[in-house]
Amino acid sequence: MPPQIQSQNQNGLRILQGELSALSPAVREFVEANVSLCQPESLHICDGSDQENRAILTQLEEQGMIKKLTKYENCWLARTDPRDVARVESKTVIVTQERRETVPTPLGGEPSQLGRWMCQEEFDKAMAQRFPGCMKGRTMYVIPFSMGPVGSPLSKIGIELTDSPYVVASMRVMTRMGKAVLAALGNGEFVRCLHSVGCPLPLKKPLVNNWPCNPDQTLIAHIPERRQIISFGSGYGGNSLLGKKCFALRIASRIAKEEGWLAEHMLILGITSPAGEKKYMAAAFPSACGKTNLAMLCPTLPGWKVECVGDDIAWMKFDNQGNLRAINPENGFFGVAPGTSAKTNPNAMATIVKNTIFTNVAETSDGGIYWEGMDQELPEGVTLTSWKNKSWSSEDGEPCAHPNSRFCTPASQCPIIDPQWESPEGVPIEAIIFGGRRPEGVPLVYEAFSWQHGVFVGAAMRSEATAAAEHKGKVIMHDPFAMRPFFGYNFGQYLSHWLSMADRPGAKLPKIFHVNWFRKSPKSGFLWPGFGDNIRVLDWMFRRVNGNTGAMPSAVGYLPCNDSLNLQGVEGKVDLNELFSLEHEFWQKEVDEVRKYFTTQVNDDLPNEMARQLELLQQRVKQM
């Protein structure tokens, strides 16, 4: 970089790569309208090639935005402005005609916890304040990308326009990107994504860590009617890689509702028994609940094998035979680094040693990376530089890596990537798992009584809050379906959509389970060893799906019968009585909390079936 200037169009715009005339009329119109609005100095139409990627990474290095990590192959470290480190829920909105299309109307004028609505007029004003001239002096990159394997009937295409080369490099990892996507698109429909860091050149004030962003003006807006995503002011992944949560969940969930499928915040794993039988399961967990660890599980039970289809998002649709088929729409893993170690997730550690972009982790003086919970001793004489670019020691009283620091790494490098992970028709899902981080009261595993009860279990999910958003501290938060920050439309309608799956003729509905790896004893810490031993719970689910192991009905769902969990070879004593105990007082409180949440937050949009399931739970708890 800079590449050879290929051409100049009539507006004086330098075209560094690609040809506007080769784009479909709709794509060209989208690009030209935003060139007029944002006024970039030049235009680069991405082809997704290795050569282009090398040039982009070199440019980022020259600009001081990333640094080569010499210890690994083609790995890079970015340090952001400390004001731009996470998704910003308070500035993430959905624009619809009526507020109620986006969020239920909370009781008594309470603020909604289920999304933020913005009216069209307010959005138009926000656009006019931010976007005119926002790319002056910069290059606008045109990124054609496919969510899902290129050409799969379950995939969708987007075009992202951005002024951030960091976004280009990251989108190449996280999506299928480039020429092949434009060819597959032809004159078809696409989601229109516009992103700017909001720092036109020349700069008005110096950058921190050479990281352009404009936190005071950050806005991430979704316009489902027009299939549009508009993001301004943040370079952080969740706000700038618009294929990720913005498209794959918020916009896709709305498309899924209209087209009769599901777009969910779920990992997908393949599990093979010692007898060679294989099943696929999908699982929804809020952040910091071991989602990526489960997706890449190393089983402690001999003979079992787990393979990863995806660690974050599942698009699921019933096929003509009634099977619920799922694809992972992503092409990479955008994982939280802290807590990832050879013990907690050896497969993730093996995935990230090449072709990976790390953001806000610590750097070792020998050209490597480091973070809290990595559980590796530093070699003698090796020192650490923190994510704030300062020399660091354990006496500093703050973490060396940001709690939401990330690795962005190709999924194809995962040692246990499933052979069917790019199957265009998707993999058949036979079980759906919900879970959360619940230190008290919630048993290790239970099975829902029915599809309707399972939807209720997803709706009633609660978990200790996490660092992935701005919330601080440990509070038990409602996080229905682990989708609370990602619903693309009214949560009450979302529940009705899930319930409607039971009405599909011939649908083979997966069994639904709830797990809690995080129950603690007041005396001895975690009651369950977790990690690789979670295979013991998956083994029980596997046998339940096949109908060849027993379960006991309880107030909350079916619990494993005595001796039906295989604890052979488990290290230490596991107190099953404490792990599965149900306390009347705890569950009465839980019913009250869920009722309050449904009443205040979902209000008139709560489907009758959800109110009925809550009453059934109340009756069962009364009889405990």
Tokens standing for 501? 């799956």
Coil, strand, or helix at residue 199? coil
Tokens standing for 447? 């099975």
Tokens standing for 550? 């027993």
Q: What is the DSSP letter of 87?
A: -
Calculated CA dihedral for residues 564, 566, 568, 571, nearest 10 degrees:
-110
8 A C-beta contact, residue 607 and residue 496 = yes
Choose among 124, 175, 167: nearest CA to 142: 167
335 φ/ψ angles, rounded to the nearest 5 degrees: -95, 155
Calculated CA dihedral for residues 371, 375, 378, 379, nearest 10 degrees:
-150
Catalytic (active site) residue 289: yes
Coil, strand, or helix at residue 143? strand
Q: How far is the C-alpha of 518 from the C-alpha of 505, rounded, in Å?
A: 38
> How would you label 549-561 residue by residue, b for 16+ Cβ within 10 Å and e otherwise?
bebeeebbbbbbe
CA max distance for the chain: 77
Choose among 218, 235, 480: nearest CA to 360: 235
Q: Which residues contact 288 (CB under 8 A, 6 or more apart)?
A: 336, 339, 437, 464, 466, 467, 468
Residue bearing tokens 């490597």: 368
Task: Kindly name the residue from 38, 46, 199, 289 that is annotated as catalytic.
Answer: 289
Tokens standing for 621? 């708890």
Q: How far is the C-alpha of 516 from the C-alpha of 435, rounded, in Å?
A: 6
Choose among 381, 358, 356, 380: nearest CA to 370: 358
Active-site positions read 289
